[in-house]
C-alpha cells in the first residue's frame, strides 16, 4: 500500500509537470524526479536517521582531521597532505548526495532540474575518480618511503606534490566532463523519473529514447581507465612494498614498516570492496538482487567510507592522535 501511494504520488507530480509523455524540451524544462529508494518508500523516514547520522559523522570526522593536519606543522608531510586531500574529497562526495537524499526522505522533495541533475552527476563521478587518484598517490608515497627511504625527501618535494594535486584534478575533469555533452546530445522522450536518490550517468541516459550505446561504452572505459587502472597500480605498488618489507633483516623493522601501511590498506579496502561489490552485483546479479539493494549500496558507499576513514587513521596513526591531543589542548588553553 505504501509503495503504491508513493508511486501514485510520483506519477501525479510527473503528470502535473507535463511529463507523462515527455519530449526533449519538456524534460529539459521540467527536470527530473528522484524516487528515493524504490520499494522502500514507507521506510524513508526511518532510513534517514542512520544516513543523517553517518553523514554528520563524516563531516565532523573529516573536518576535524583536516584541522589537525593544517594546525600541526609536524603533519605537513606528503602522507598527511594526501590524507587531507582524501578527507576533502570525502566531504564533498557525501555532500553532493546526502542533502538531496535527506530532503527527499524528510520532505518528499523529489524534483531536481535537468541542469541540476547533470551538475550533481558530474561532481559525484568527478569526486569518485579524484578519490581513486588520491589513494594511488598515497600508495606511491608509501612505495617511495619504504622502497627508497633515502630518496624520499628528494622525490616527494612540494613541487612534485603540487603537480600530483594538479594532475589529480585535471584527470578527473577530463574524464568526466565529456559525459555532460554525451547526455545533452540525447533526445529525451520518456517519463523523467529516476529510480534513485541521486543522479548518475546511466540513470539519466536511460531517460532517453536515443541510442545510448556510446554512453554505456564511455562509462565503462572511464571506469576502467581511471579507477580500474588506479587499483592495478596500487596493487603493483604494494607488491613491491611487501617484497621490500620482507627483505628487511629484523622483525621489528618489518612490523614497523607494515604498520605505516596498515591505515592506507584499510582505507583502500573501504574504497574498493563496496565499489567492486556494487559493480559486480549490478552487472551479474541484476536479476537476483532487488533494485532497492543496489540503491541502498550506492547510498551507503558515499557515507560509510567517508565516515570510517578518519576513524581508521585516528586509531592506527600515532602522529594523528598526538596532533589531535595538541590541537584540542591548545583550544582548551585559549578558552580558559
CA distance 149 to 156: 11
Place of cell 627508497: 148
With 60 as the cut, is the pLDDT of residue 13 above it? no
Average pLDDT on 219-240 reads 88
> Alpha carbon of 58 to those of 26, 63, 88, 197, 292: distances in Å?
38, 8, 11, 19, 23
More reliable by pLDDT, 5 or 147: 147
DSSP 32: E
Residue 68 Cα to chain centre, angstroms: 22
With 80 as the cut, is the pLDDT of residue 276 above it? no
CA distance 232 to 218: 20
In terms of Cβ atoms closer than 10 Å to its own Cβ (0-12, 13-18, 19+), residue 296 is middle
Asked if 188 and 22 touch (Cβ cutoff 8 Å), the reply is yes
According to the model, what pLDDT value does residue 7 have?
46
In terms of Cβ atoms closer than 10 Å to its own Cβ (0-12, 13-18, 19+), residue 247 is exposed
- The mean pLDDT value of the chain amounts to 82
113 CB-near residues (< 8 Å, 6+ apart): 31, 32
Of 79-83, 105-109, 121-125, the range with the lowest mean pLDDT is 105-109
According to the model, what pLDDT value does residue 134 have?
93
According to the model, what pLDDT value does residue 324 have?
76
Q: What does DSSP say about strands 111-112 and 193-194: parallel, antiparallel, or unpaired?
A: unpaired
- Domains for the chain: give ranges and CATH numbers: 28-335 (1.20.1070.10)
Handedness of CA 72, 77, 81, 87 (dihedral sign): negative
Q: DSSP 3-state assignment of 102?
A: helix
CA distance 293 to 332: 45
According to the model, what pLDDT value does residue 21 have?
46
Average pLDDT on 33-37 reads 86
Of 82-96, 179-193, 252-266, the range with the lowest mean pLDDT is 252-266
According to the model, what pLDDT value does residue 9 have?
47
Amino acid at each position: 500500500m505504501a509503495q503504491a501511494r508513493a508511486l501514485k504520488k510520483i506519477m501525479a507530480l510527473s503528470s502535473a509537470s507535463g511529463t507523462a509523455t515527455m519530449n526533449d524540451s519538456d524534460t529539459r524544462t521540467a527536470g527530473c524526479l528522484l524516487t528515493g529508494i524504490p520499494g522502500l518508500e514507507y521506510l524513508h523516514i526511518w532510513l534517514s536517521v542512520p544516513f543523517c547520522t553517518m553523514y554528520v559523522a563524516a563531516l565532523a570526522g573529516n573536518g576535524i582531521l583536516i584541522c589537525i593536519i593544517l594546525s600541526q606543522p609536524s603533519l605537513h608531510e606528503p602522507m598527511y597532505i594526501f590524507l587531507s586531500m582524501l578527507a576533502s574529497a570525502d566531504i564533498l562526495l557525501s555532500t553532493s548526495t546526502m542533502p538531496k537524499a535527506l530532503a527527499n526522505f524528510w520532505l518528499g522533495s523529489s524534483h531536481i532540474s535537468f541542469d541540476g541533475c547533470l551538475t550533481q552527476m558530474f561532481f559525484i563521478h568527478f569526486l569518485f575518480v579524484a578519490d581513486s587518484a588520491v589513494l594511488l598517490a598515497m600508495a606511491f608515497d608509501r612505495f617511495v618511503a619504504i622502497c627508497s627511504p633515502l630518496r624520499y625527501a628528494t622525490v616527494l618535494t612540494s613541487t612534485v606534490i603540487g603537480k600530483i594535486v594538479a594532475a589529480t584534478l585535471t584527470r578527473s575533469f577530463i574524464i568526466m566532463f565529456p559525459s555532460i555533452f554525451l547526455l545533452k546530445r540525447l533526445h529525451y522522450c520518456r517519463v523523467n523519473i529516476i529510480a534513485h536518490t541521486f543522479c548518475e550517468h546511466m540513470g539519466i541516459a536511460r531517460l532517453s529514447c536515443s541510442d545510448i550505446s556510446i554512453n554505456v561504452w564511455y562509462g565503462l572505459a572511464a571506469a576502467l581507465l581511471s579507477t580500474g587502472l588506479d587499483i592495478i597500480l596500487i596493487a603493483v605498488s604494494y607488491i613491491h612494498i611487501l617484497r621490500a618489507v620482507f627483505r628487511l633483516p629484523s622483525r621489528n623493522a618489518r612490523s614497523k614498516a607494515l604498520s605505516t601501511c596498515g591505515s592506507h590498506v584499510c582505507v583502500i579496502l573501504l574504497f574498493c570492496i563496496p565499489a567492486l561489490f556494487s559493480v559486480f552485483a549490478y552487472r551479474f546479479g541484476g536479476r537476483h538482487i532487488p533494485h532497492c539493494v543496489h540503491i541502498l549500496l550506492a547510498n551507503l558507499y558515499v557515507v560509510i567510507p567517508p565516515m570510517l576513514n578518519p576513524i581508521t587513521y585516528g586509531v592506527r596513526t600515532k602522529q594523528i592522535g598526538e596532533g589531535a591531543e595538541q590541537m584540542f589542548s591548545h583550544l582548551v588553553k585559549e578558552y580558559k
